[in-house]
Structure 1
Amino acid sequence: MLPNQPLYKNRSFMLVWMSGVTVMLGFSMFFLSVSWFIVDVLNNPGVLGVVLMAVSIPRVIMMVYGGILADKLQKSLIMFVTNAMQVLIMVAMITLFVNDWLTITSLIIIAAIFGFLDAFFFPAVSSMIPTIVPDEQLQRANSLFQGSTEMMFIIGPLIAGILLTVGDFTLTFSGSAILIFISTVLVFPPLIRDPLPEKTESRSALADLKEGFTYVKQSPVHRAGTLSIVVINLFIIGPLIISFPLLVDALGGTPFELSLLEGGFAVGTFLASVVVVIWNLKKKRGRLVFGSLIVSFLLVMIFSQLQTLPFLVLLVALTGFVAMFVYLPTVTMVQENTDKDKLGRVMSLISLAASGFEPIAFGLIAFLVAAALDVQTVLLIFGAIGLVLSVILVWASPFFRNMD
């Protein structure tokens, strides 16, 4: 790693970046195809929620252990093995589909395996980047990786829709499998040559987990950063994701308008990543994170009161844009202040904070809407609670607030 070397000349990072882009493109195509297969072919849209839970629950449960493993094994090896196993799962699913054996039960099992493997892939890749990129380039590297993968969730469904128009599910499933296979080849360990973890004394997974939690709890940087990500995912990201279909339905909208809302949010997060790549901010990042946290909740509260689609799309894009200025600088600040032998565990806790609380938000909002509260009132409540918690967090975290 040369400090002044541009990212595009860092072969290890470029391979990991291309691997992340291709695997996310494959995943986004796969999940749209599965969703449409359930709704259109199996004619059972109610099962879609069960399949999404089958993905998220094993992912959340195993995420922390994935971080422990990332501190003990070569990270590229973990990525290579998990991707290779996902390719095998895709081949099995294509075989089931071609023979007309693909059922709801088999889809739930496949989704659960994907979620299980995901729990090992992402702690490995997020803890690997600091080991192959110098600190001076870390902010740009994180932003480029995050922004590119976010963009794949816009491009992937579009490609899958075109393939389903000109062909059938065999085409989209095969396309997803090929992309995941390419990702597997790109992270072949001899190509990446990321460092091997130092040998440590053999301990139980529980002891390693306790050490990781203690490490995060005792550090003001890790503690405030993790709580910031928890708050924004529990009270903004999760509520927005589940509110889109409910909001469009309440306003008498169409599936196209739903896609505009989802696309607007994705575009906002992507543009923020591009800005961070260009900007490569290094000063007053703590204030930027906390300021963005508070502004995000103000935007959500305004969003909850709007009735016109163009303004809703604009506000959700702006919210996604500002929210990324909470997530991206926080991740980089945590990585910069983490011992290399604990990166896997720390980043798995960050990943857990980023994705593990969204299902809780899904459940809370579904419960409140079922209790006859309209979705806009629920969003306003969540925004107000999140704003209060953000102010408390800012007040209670002077060290993080004043960090560069």
Structure 2
Amino acid sequence: MSGLTVMLGFSMFFLSVLWFIVDVLEQPAVLGIVLMAVSIPRVAMMIYGGVLADKIRKSFIMFTTNFLQVLVMAAMIVLFVNDWLQISSLIVIALVFGFLDAFFFPAVSSMIPIIVRDEELQRANSLFQGSTELMFIIGPLIAGFLLTIGDFTLTFSAAGLFILVSAVLVFPPFIKDPEPDKRPEGSTAVTDLKEGLAYVWNSSLHRSGTFTIVIINLFMIGPLIVSFPILVSALGGTPFELSLLEGGLAAGTFLASVALIAWNVRNRRGRLVLYALLASFILFFVFSQVETMPFLVLLTAFSGFAAMFVYLPTVTMVQEKTDKAKLGRVMSIITLAASGFEPVAFGLISLLVAAQLPIQTILSVTAVTGLLLGVLLVWKSPDFRKMD
């Protein structure tokens, strides 16, 4: 419930901020700067967030970050009411939100396997991820409705209220998650970080799982997301068709989460992940060749569906096979692999489009590259293929 309400608040917050920049400030050129202000501190601090999650009670980290975000929302409302909310203050707010996200997500992803039995971990991860995807569909709709009947004070307040509810739900006395074991004397953040990186690198499961998530995000998810507005514009489409593509991706990932809740797969998950990885890039390549909008929406949904069969079983296997004392650091590395490479894809695709290359050609090359890397991973990861 905490994850559901915080994601609802986040999605409402981001849509409201982006619309405020476009509609009120009339500076759409700075949208990319604000999005970068969110992603850069998140990527930069994600690993340290994992280190902290192995030292401090995870519910305390989640409660603190959510509560601080509520204070940021309150400050933003004050700035808006007094007509002081400008691009500079929005960039600072985005930086703070991204910074706090870097601590929240390693904590929640490493807490799930502590409070859930291994045999239910797949369903728990699927339920959490599915709720996240659903909120990123519902949140913008609620924000759009509130902006229709009121102003930004209403949407910012509603977003802050949902984040406050999330903080209350993870109040440590409610969750009662255990305190982490005390670290050895002389242990520092740097040594803890090195220990976590070495732990991932020396395990074939963790190493192959991390590479799998990097490949799917760098060569499919990132290019797919950034291609939507470019592709719709190149095909002479409308904003409604853009929303259909974005909704298709969210619907595909959500349905995959539901499927994994119903089908609590426990056998040959490594093979399932690698086959789903190859299937994702085949679907993505077909997507790059199609120019008819209904088929593009359908292929987007299928691609998102296959991609979740890569991500969720991989995360579950990693959680099950990780020493509980290192879960925070390991999950921060996995989260970084999942979210840290999407901005790289955004930048690369934008540069290639600026060089006047057709978007379909760019997507074809990235799909083929991802497929070849997937085949190489299948060949070089026999132990991962045999994982249950």
TM-score, normalization by structure 1: 0.95
Between the aligned partners of 1:311 and 1:43, the Cα distance in structure 2 is 34
Question: Which residue type is aligned with residue 196 of structure 1?
Answer: E
Percentage of matched positions with identical amino acids: 71
Whether 2:318 is the aligned partner of 1:322: answer no
Gaps of 5+ in 2: none
Q: Secondary structure at the match of 2:129?
A: helix
Q: Secondary structure at the match of 1:83?
A: helix
- In structure 2, the partner of 1:307 is 291
Between the aligned partners of 1:83 and 1:219, the Cα distance in structure 2 is 33
Between the aligned partners of 1:200 and 1:40, the Cα distance in structure 2 is 51
**Which of residues 73, 89, 96 is equivalent to 2:79?**
96
For residues 20-55 of structure 1, what are the alpha-carbon distances to aligned partners after superposition, in whole Å with 9 as ceiling and x for unaligned?
000000000000000100000000101110000000
Whether 2:164 is the aligned partner of 1:195: answer no
Between the aligned partners of 2:265 and 2:43, the Cα distance in structure 1 is 31
**Which of residues 91, 95, 115 is equivalent to 1:112?**
95
Runs of 4+ in 1 over 2 A off after TM superposition: none
Q: Secondary structure at the match of 1:195?
A: coil
Q: Secondary structure at the match of 1:196?
A: coil
Whether 2:190 is the aligned partner of 1:235: answer no
Question: Which residue type is aligned with residue 166 of structure 2?
Answer: S
**What pairs up with 1:256-267 in 2 under 5 angstroms?**
256-267=240-251
**Which of residues 355, 358, 361 is equivalent to 1:374?**
358
**Which of residues 146, 157, 167 is equivalent to 2:129?**
146
- In structure 1, the partner of 2:341 is 357
Between the aligned partners of 2:298 and 2:133, the Cα distance in structure 1 is 18
Cα drift, residue 225 of structure 1? 0.4
Whether 2:329 is the aligned partner of 1:345: answer yes
For residues 137-177 of structure 1, what are the alpha-carbon distances to aligned partners after superposition, in whole Å with 9 as ceiling and x for unaligned?
10000000001111100000011111111111111000000
**What pairs up with 1:158-307 in 2 under 5 angstroms?**
158-201=141-184, 202-307=186-291
For residues 297-352 of structure 1, what are the alpha-carbon distances to aligned partners after superposition, in whole Å with 9 as ceiling and x for unaligned?
00010001111110000000000000000000000000000000000000000000
Question: Which residue type is aligned with residue 216 of structure 1?
Answer: V
Q: Secondary structure at the match of 1:257?
A: helix
Between the aligned partners of 1:205 and 1:239, the Cα distance in structure 2 is 34
**Which of residues 48, 59, 63 is equivalent to 2:31?**
48
Q: Secondary structure at the match of 1:238?
A: helix
For residues 74-93 of structure 1, what are the alpha-carbon distances to aligned partners after superposition, in whole Å with 9 as ceiling and x for unaligned?
00000000000000000000
Between the aligned partners of 2:128 and 2:215, the Cα distance in structure 1 is 23
Between the aligned partners of 1:205 and 1:188, the Cα distance in structure 2 is 26
- In structure 1, the partner of 2:55 is 72
For residues 59-88 of structure 1, what are the alpha-carbon distances to aligned partners after superposition, in whole Å with 9 as ceiling and x for unaligned?
000000000000000000000000000000
**What pairs up with 1:30-49 in 2 under 5 angstroms?**
30-49=13-32
For residues 166-212 of structure 1, what are the alpha-carbon distances to aligned partners after superposition, in whole Å with 9 as ceiling and x for unaligned?
11111100000000000000000000000100112141211111101
- In structure 1, the partner of 2:42 is 59
Question: Which residue type is aligned with residue 30 of structure 2?
Answer: V
Question: Which residue type is aligned with residue 106 of structure 2?
Answer: P
- In structure 2, the partner of 1:11 is none
Cα drift, residue 402 of structure 1? 1.0
Cα drift, residue 376 of structure 1? 1.0
Between the aligned partners of 2:248 and 2:141, the Cα distance in structure 1 is 14
Question: Which residue type is aligned with residue 336 of structure 1?
Answer: E
- In structure 2, the partner of 1:389 is 373
- In structure 2, the partner of 1:29 is 12
Question: Which residue type is aligned with residue 26 of structure 2?
Answer: N
TM-score, normalization by structure 2: 0.99
Between the aligned partners of 2:340 and 2:193, the Cα distance in structure 1 is 17
- In structure 1, the partner of 2:64 is 81
Question: Which residue type is aligned with residue 195 of structure 2?
Answer: E
- In structure 2, the partner of 1:19 is 2
Question: Which residue type is aligned with residue 185 of structure 1?
Answer: V
For residues 80-130 of structure 1, what are the alpha-carbon distances to aligned partners after superposition, in whole Å with 9 as ceiling and x for unaligned?
000000000000000000111000000000000000000000000000000
Question: Which residue type is aligned with residue 55 of structure 1?
Answer: V
Question: Which residue type is aligned with residue 123 of structure 1?
Answer: P
Cα drift, residue 374 of structure 1? 1.0
Cα drift, residue 218 of structure 1? 0.4
**Which of residues 92, 99, 106 is equivalent to 1:123?**
106
Between the aligned partners of 2:353 and 2:285, the Cα distance in structure 1 is 17
Gaps of 5+ in 1: 1-17
